[in-house]
């Protein structure tokens, strides 16, 4: 069968299964990998070996990173240190929408999961704002803020596979020197978007009584005196480990990521009480396992696609039909639409494009940004984050599309425009 047709059939079936059966993405992606391999003419043995190799490759790349992030998140949550960090931020920033968006933006990177950061912030935002409309805006901004940093800032599980595949020896510090200001600018654009479409919920409206939510479970009172350095300690350890890894230990980028995340997790574990430490490690490992195996399924599908010769045969044909710069963006958008995970999109897209002529035609920075942009364009019913936001806000699907899907797509559009501008104006 033609490889492009096999690819389209596989994505279509993954979409259907994800939408109607809601089973673990690991099984839908493994099933998609086997289906694609057989449709592409690979032998059953070669297909299964490709699946196993892809799973192992991704697990070795992400296992330590995601486990450490999940443990840090659980320990912060169990010790009410998330509230302490928010209290520290509120000393310098008074605007609640900015706090919601920036806090999720900040947490998503070291915690290595934008959904986990949203879950951590949900009860805090419930307590910060009792008016339903304004509370929901905070939740939507937290969702968008977490996705923006998750899709753009190194090292997150979205950016790591893209950077490893396309950086060509470039320092991650150079990439972040571009991506962090860009991501903050995109976050600012989303905040302005909400001021435009929901000014009544973002800005105070005189004379209108608030619609109050039911009183959420009480959070522990947070002392306001001084910064809560103990809560910030895992993040400080991660930052301190970066120059140690590069300058003193001389580690590669791949080794450095594992070391700095271990430093953060060990710091969090060391400062926790024995009871909290044991529970945090156990619950964090459980949560990390769910995330890791979903990504491993993506590794299996991506590896089988590469082994089939898809990149050599199909991508070159696509460049004859559409501009080269659109191929990574469209490919990522298709994969994201099919299964809904930005990490899965990054893993599969990086595997498919690596070694193709497209990599040599586009500079690494705009290439990574194009894929990140594509992963944000369609965040709809196959996206598990979509349904989490729908449950926590209580809004209907139309409202979630307006306040979650469209703003995230707007973020993807801004990233795409920046990527094209960088490619044509800076890196040529």
Domain definitions of the chain by residue range: 3-203+223-425
The DSSP-derived string for 73-126 is: HHHHHHTTHHHHHHHHHHHH---HHHHHHHHHHHHHHHHT-HHHHHHHHHHHHH
SS3 for 218? coil
Q: Are 129 and 135 in contact (CB under 8 A)?
A: yes
394: CB partners within 8 A, 6+ apart = 136
Task: Look up residue 393 and give its two tokens.
Answer: 């806000």
Residue where the block lists tokens 């800005």: 203
CB atoms within 10 A of CB 91: 10
- Could you say which DSSP state residue 244 is in? I
Distance set, CA 260 to CA 152, 153, 170, 238 (Å): 19, 15, 19, 5
Task: Look up residue 168 and give its two tokens.
Answer: 């060509």
SS3 for 131? strand
Instruction: Please report the pLDDT score of residue 53 as a whole number.
Output: 93
- Could you say which DSSP state residue 219 is in? P
What are the φ and ψ backbone dihedral angles of 212, each rounded to 5 degrees? Answer: -90, 140
Q: What is the largest CA-CA distance in the chain?
A: 71
Instruction: Please report the pLDDT score of residue 205 as a whole number.
Output: 55
Taking the CA atoms of residue 364, residue 367, residue 371 and residue 373 in that order, the dihedral angle to the nearest 10 degrees is 110
Instruction: Please report the pLDDT score of residue 224 as a whole number.
Output: 58
Could you list the pLDDT tens digit for every one of the 428 residues in the chain? 788 889 889 988 888 887 787 777 889 889 999 999 999 999 999 999 999 999 998 898 889 999 999 999 999 989 999 999 999 998 888 899 999 999 999 999 999 889 999 999 999 998 888 788 889 999 999 999 999 999 999 989 999 999 999 998 898 889 999 999 999 999 999 999 998 876 655 555 555 555 555 544 444 555 556 788 999 999 999 999 988 888 888 888 888 899 999 999 999 999 998 889 999 899 999 888 888 888 888 889 889 988 888 877 777 777 778 899 999 999 999 999 888 889 989 998 998 898 788 888 999 999 999 999 999 998 888 888 998 999 999 999 899 999 999 999 999 999 999 999 999 998 87
SS3 for 252? coil
pTM for this model (two decimals): 0.86
252: CB partners within 8 A, 6+ apart = none
| Closest by Cα among 423, 406, 428 to 193 | 406
Q: Are 376 and 147 in contact (CB under 8 A)?
A: yes
- Could you say which DSSP state residue 212 is in? B
Instruction: Please report the pLDDT score of residue 166 as a whole number.
Output: 93
């Amino acid at each position: 069968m033609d490889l492009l047709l096999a690819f389209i059939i596989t994505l279509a079936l993954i979409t259907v299964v994800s939408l109607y059966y809601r089973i673990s993405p690991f099984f839908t992606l493994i099933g998609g990998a086997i289906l694609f391999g057989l449709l592409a003419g690979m032998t059953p043995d070669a297909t299964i070996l490709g699946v196993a190799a892809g799973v192992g490759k991704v697990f070795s790349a992400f296992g330590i990173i995601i486990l450490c992030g999940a443990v840090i998140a659980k320990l912060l949550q169990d010790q009410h240190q998330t509230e302490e960090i928010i209290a520290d931020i509120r000393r310098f920033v008074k605007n609640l929408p900015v706090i919601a968006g920036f806090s999720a933006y900040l947490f998503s990177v070291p915690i290595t999961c934008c959904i986990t950061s949203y879950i951590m912030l949900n009860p805090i935002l419930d307590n910060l704002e009792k008016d339903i409309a304004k509370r929901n805006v905070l939740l939507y901004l937290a969702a968008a803020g977490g996705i923006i940093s998750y899709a753009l800032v190194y090292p997150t599980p979205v950016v790591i596979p893209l950077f490893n595949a396309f950086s060509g020896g470039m320092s991650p510090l150079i990439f972040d020197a571009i991506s962090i200001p860009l991501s903050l600018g995109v976050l600012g654009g989303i905040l302005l978007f909400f001021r435009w479409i929901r000014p009544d919920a973002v800005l105070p409206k005189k004379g209108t009584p608030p619609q109050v939510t039911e009183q959420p479970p009480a959070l522990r009172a947070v002392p306001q005196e001084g910064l809560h350095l103990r809560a910030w300690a895992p993040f400080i350890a991660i930052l301190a480990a970066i120059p140690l890894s590069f300058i003193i230990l001389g580690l590669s980028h791949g080794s450095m990521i594992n070391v700095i995340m271990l430093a953060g997790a060990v710091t969090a574990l060391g400062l926790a009480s024995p009871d909290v430490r044991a529970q945090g490690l156990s619950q964090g490992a459980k949560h990390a396992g769910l995330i890791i195996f979903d990504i491993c399924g993506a590794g299996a599908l991506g590896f089988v696609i590469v082994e089939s010769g898809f990149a050599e045969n199909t991508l070159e044909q696509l460049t004859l039909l559409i501009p080269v710069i659109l191929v990574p963006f469209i490919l990522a958008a298709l994969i994201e639409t099919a299964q809904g995970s930005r990490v899965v999109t990054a893993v599969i897209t990086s595997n498919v494009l690596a070694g193709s002529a497209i990599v040599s035609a586009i500079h690494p920075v705009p290439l990574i940004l194009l894929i990140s942009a594509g992963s944000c364009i369609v965040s709809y019913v196959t996206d598990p984050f979509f349904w989490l936001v729908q449950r926590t806000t209580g809004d209907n699907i139309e409202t979630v599309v307006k306040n979650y899907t469209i703003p995230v797509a707007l973020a993807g559009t801004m990233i795409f425009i920046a990527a094209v501008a960088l490619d044509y104006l800076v890196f040529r």
